[in-house]
Chain A
Amino acid sequence: MTNHLQKEVKRETGEGTDLWRVILAPTIWAVHFLVCYVGAAIYCEKAGRMADLLPVRLIVGTATFIALAGLAAVFISLWKVRGLSSVNDDYNYAGNTPEERHRFLSHVALMLCVLSGVAILYAAFPALVLEVCR
């Protein structure tokens, strides 16, 4: 067991408990959500009930594209950590070392990245269907 852990430590997965990496993807999701919903609310309040939603759909489309591109960048950087760390049997983050914490948090962040991607797509779906503010 000790040898096993030592072997992992030797792999260069980076270290540190950078919480920003964990909340980056959910933050992109939150900003995308606010841009879409607040943008649509302000536009429809100003333009009226029967206004065409095209400008909002463009905003949602652009915001979704930027958000997914951001998520992809985050995902790739996290995937690299995963690629370095999941070569062998190391889904059990048992070691109490900075590297282990880093790998574990990166794994959590990767999962959150997937979740945020799904949430962003779901939030953007209505823009494909709705045509007027009403």
Chain B
Amino acid sequence: MHDTKPEITISFGPCLPIAAMGLLLSGCVGRQSALAPAGHDAEQISNLFWVMTAGASIIWALVLGTALAATLGLFKNPTRLTPNILIVGGGVVFPTVILGILLIFGLRLLPNWQSEPDRLQIHVHGEQWWWRVVYRAPDQIEPVISANEIHLPAGQAVEFVLTSADVIHSFWIPSIGGKLDMIPGRTTRLLLEATRPGVYRGVCAEYCGTSHAKMAFAVVVHEPKDFNAWLEDRTSDPNIGTDDPGRKIFLSSGCAACHRIRGLTEIGSVGPDLSHIGSRRTIGAGIAENTPKNLARWITDPAHMKPAVQMPAYRALPPEDIAAIARFLSNLN
């Protein structure tokens, strides 16, 4: 005698919409979402999005409702004027008024450039595929040079001065504000005000070549006093261990030809500035966590982590030398 197992049918059908909704909503949170605003402009964009979504839904329902009503013959005894009212009202007056309201609403969201107080300027220069970052505070004589990570004070408007070295890039921190193109030969300016301290993610939003998708950066928003302390700290040299073996290998392997380390070697400017790299959250312009292991991977073969990158591979160096350089860099803070 055979046991007949009861047939169990599991239907995932009803779960699918819920799962899809979950996936969709997961895009609304996190460090890189325009719908989870942490900045003045992002809040406006988010509000605009919800207002337009609601408005578009109402108009969509009205148009389809009218079409459905007409199809089902619900318009009883239409007069000769009915189509004219619908065409002139729905086709001319309604869109004109709605678009006019949206135009004025949109224009009012433009930043106020009229007053130009002494404010913090952050110059960001887009290059394939990383970000050169220079901070110029009003009361600061020497600019602070950094790369691939941006620090901001909460509650203060910061002026981004955007340029590009090669192709068109687009500078975008979705959680903090709108994006703006970086155009070779031109300077564009963006005014952003972060409102909530935290760590966010910025990206290049314009296709700029092979590793465009690997051109990102971390954004750290501090309380104003913490930001001032951070900036002050960056005006001084990093802790460089004079007897660190990695330091010697860094210099003898030619790394300094392209990379600057404040207080150690100031000639290289082809690649990202490495002063205080140990304190950065990511390496390779936002593509990997900043750990000695990842740094060693990067030095060994950067193109493996970021295709077509300009930095050559240092496979020829003994692994222990690479590890020593990675440790040396990790300690620069």
Contact = CB atoms under 8 A, between A and B. Distances in A.
Contacts of A130: 107, 110
A118 interface: yes
A20 interface: no
A134 B113 contact: yes
Interface in B241-276: none
Given A131-B114, A132-B113, A126 B96 contact: no
B107 A126 contact: yes
B114 A125 contact: no
B23 interface: no
Contacts of A131: 114
B99 A132 contact: no
A86 B110 CA distance: 46
B157 to A, nearest CB: 14
A122 B113 contact: no
B8 interface: no
A125 B110 CA distance: 13
Contacts of A121: 100
A130 B106 CA distance: 12
Contacts of A129: 104, 107-108, 110
Interface in B107-141: 107-108, 110, 113-114, 116
Nearest to B92: A114
A125 B96 contact: no
Contacts of A128: 107
A42 interface: no
- Which of B92, B99, B114, B189 is the most central at the interface, judged by chain A CB atoms within 10 Å of its CB? B114
Given A114-B92, A129-B108, A122 B114 contact: no
B306 to A, nearest CB: 36
Contacts of B10: none
A50 B100 contact: no
Q: What does DSSP make chain B's interface, helix, strand, loop or mixed?
A: helix
Contacts of B116: 50
B20 interface: no
A130 B100 CA distance: 16
B1 interface: no
A64 to B, nearest CB: 14
Interface in A73-128: 114, 118, 121-122, 125-126, 128
Interface in B65-97: 92, 96
B15 interface: no
Contacts of B103: 122, 125
B104 A125 contact: yes
Contacts of B99: 122
A122 B100 contact: yes
Contacts of B110: 129-130
A118 to B, nearest CB: 5
A134 B189 CA distance: 10
A125 B92 contact: no
A132 B96 contact: no
A131 B115 CA distance: 10
A134 to B, nearest CB: 4
Nearest to A121: B100
A91 to B, nearest CB: 9
Contacts of A126: 107
B80 to A, nearest CB: 8
Interface in A8-59: 50
Given A114-B92, A118-B96, A125 B113 contact: no
A51 to B, nearest CB: 11
A80 B116 CA distance: 54
A114 B87 CA distance: 14
Contacts of A122: 99-100, 103
22 contacts: A50-B116, A114-B92, A118-B96, A121-B100, A122-B99, A122-B100, A122-B103, A125-B100, A125-B103, A125-B104, A126-B107, A128-B107, A129-B104, A129-B107, A129-B108, A129-B110, A130-B107, A130-B110, A131-B114, A132-B113, A132-B114, A134-B113
Q: Which 5 A-B pairs have the closest CB atoms?
A: A134-B113, A129-B107, A131-B114, A132-B114, A118-B96
Given A125-B104, A128-B107, A130-B110, 13 more contacts: A114-B92, A121-B100, A122-B99, A125-B100, A125-B103, A126-B107, A129-B104, A129-B107, A129-B108, A129-B110, A130-B107, A131-B114, A134-B113
